[in-house]
Chains A and B, each alone.
Chain A
């Protein structure tokens, strides 16, 4: 290469594509952010400024009154709803990760009678929209007297068909020698699952765990059906309840939305790597 004589260094072509990309992406990113920014800014406006026409963008006299009102509102003990949401989301993550990894491993590495039909049944359930089973699900929970109990949002979702499918794909790539070696060393089957298989499935656990957490944290329709008693509600339902109740007090409903929506966004932002990996891997929503 060096032998090729050049009178001038090679001229790089103007990266028009890249310039175009930036000129479109920068405004697009701002548009994507605007609803958040406007909601946050508006939550610091006074009731009078919110009702001003035409609306302002930046608060003219920023105030924390809206947040103060919400924290003093005995009708809206946010800590209770945060706790409800957290219990449901964490319990679901724990149980779904356990069952998905265990059964994914079993379907990947073991032969037993009825394996194929059971596996295909599980796969087939993924085709059934949740709306078909939500009415019988509600009736079962009614019969078991589980309505308005947080456990009603945990027990029925212990096994996730998609999780089993995903973990089976991952478990297939675990070397059989690793499992056999552990057997020869005398490790029990459950021990092999716990200390070898789980170890190998760690990246999948982190990814799928984050997706499951997000899904449960943001869930709306099913909790809306199961939790009708106010003190048992999760954040999304309580937010809608509060917004409907105070529909003409936008200064309060916006501050409430900020308090419900934003804190968890920071957690998701910090786990962005895992969530993005999960989405690109699975394509699920």
Chain B
């Protein structure tokens, strides 16, 4: 196509060249205007507006179904402005606090517990896994990598159903294996018994974490393998000449060199753990007795089942601040990382 345009140009083209640059500037201006203006309008409507609306909603008692709401976008009128009342209510830690406040506290606690268990467990598994995958014969690496790649690309809903079946008290593989090992019938309700706890952590939450980790470890493993392959071979050779064994190599060469990658992976893992929903909603729906209720479950049910959209927005704002704090810590840490 480009060639045909060129060949059709003839002598007058040289004449036009003189004025061409001004024409070009105009063409560029038109191009920018024709693309950037629609983008800005689009972003204003589908991005800025929902963000501002989302924050504003948290200051209202809001239900989309309330008839004759009036006011701006249904805010005001039948959906009254309540200022910071939702946020103040969140700080009510007394035993007389309303149920939704207690559920919020429970969700916040569970989310933090979930994230702070997932991140270290993830790194403890993925770092050695990546080092091992990197150390085996080159030609076998893609084969082994596939096993840890498959769970990542599986729909989390599918993961939840598979694992829900594994944990099934009567039909599940886990109790089946335990029965075979112990020789007597085991029927533990992994996802349904609120009294089961290990070191104060509900077993249902641990069971959900196991399924979540199973799906999630592939990401960081892949990221770490890529980072390992960037370590110059000369560094490892030098360490080997010095008589360093595999374990020392891992602690004193690999880990320090991967520090920025590990930090970044930890932060990304934590941010996505704060936003966990699919696996928990399908496996336990927040139960038993709200023991696996996390913030996004809390937001979803309040907003779309109970029409408490103002309250749900306030919970979402809390989630936003959690993510923000972690991101800010990350930028701080990474900056100091680069200083030397």
Contacts and interface: CB of A to CB of B under 8 A. Distances in A.
Interface of A: 16-18, 20-22, 24-25, 28-29, 32-36, 38-39, 42, 50-51, 53-55, 57, 99, 102-103, 106, 110, 112, 114, 118, 121-122, 125, 127-140, 142, 155-156, 158-159, 182-183, 185-191, 195, 214, 217-218, 220-221, 225, 235-237, 239-240, 243, 250, 253-254, 257, 260-261, 264-265, 268-269, 272, 275-276, 279-280, 283-285
A34 B163 CA distance: 10
A110 B223 contact: no
A209 B35 CA distance: 21
Nearest to A214: B153
Interface of B: 1-2, 5-6, 9, 13, 24, 27-28, 30-32, 35-36, 39-40, 42-43, 46-51, 53-55, 57, 64, 73-74, 128-129, 132-133, 135-137, 142, 144-159, 161-163, 165-166, 168, 170-173, 175-176, 179-180, 185, 214, 216, 219, 222-223, 225-226, 245-246, 264-265, 268, 272, 274-275, 277-278, 281-282, 295-296, 299-300, 303-304, 309, 312-313, 316-317, 319-320, 323-324, 327
Contacts of B57: 135-136
B32 A112 contact: yes
18 contacts: A20-B246, A32-B151, A34-B173, A35-B214, A55-B176, A121-B43, A122-B43, A131-B296, A135-B57, A135-B313, A139-B53, A159-B46, A189-B31, A221-B277, A236-B278, A240-B282, A261-B154, A269-B146
Contacts of B2: 182, 185, 187, 191, 195
Given A33-B147, A280-B226, A158 B319 contact: no
Chain B interface main SS type = helix
A39 B162 contact: yes
A220 B157 contact: yes
B173 A142 contact: no
Contacts of B166: 35, 38
Contacts of A218: 153-157
A280 B222 contact: yes
Given A25-B136, A136-B54, A106 B36 contact: yes
Contact of B171 (A50, A130, A132, A236): A50
Q: Is the interface of A mostly helix, strand, loop or mixed?
A: helix
A192 to B, nearest CB: 9
B309 A135 contact: yes
A129 B226 contact: no
A243 B50 CA distance: 33
Contacts of A114: 40
A125 B180 CA distance: 52
A125 B51 contact: yes
A134 B153 CA distance: 24
A155 B42 CA distance: 10
Given A54-B179, A54-B180, A132 B172 contact: no
Given A131-B296, A139-B73, A186-B9, 11 more contacts: A25-B129, A106-B36, A127-B327, A134-B316, A139-B53, A139-B309, A142-B64, A220-B277, A264-B155, A265-B150, A285-B216
A121 B42 CA distance: 13
A122 B44 CA distance: 10
Contacts of B49: 136, 140
B150 A129 contact: no
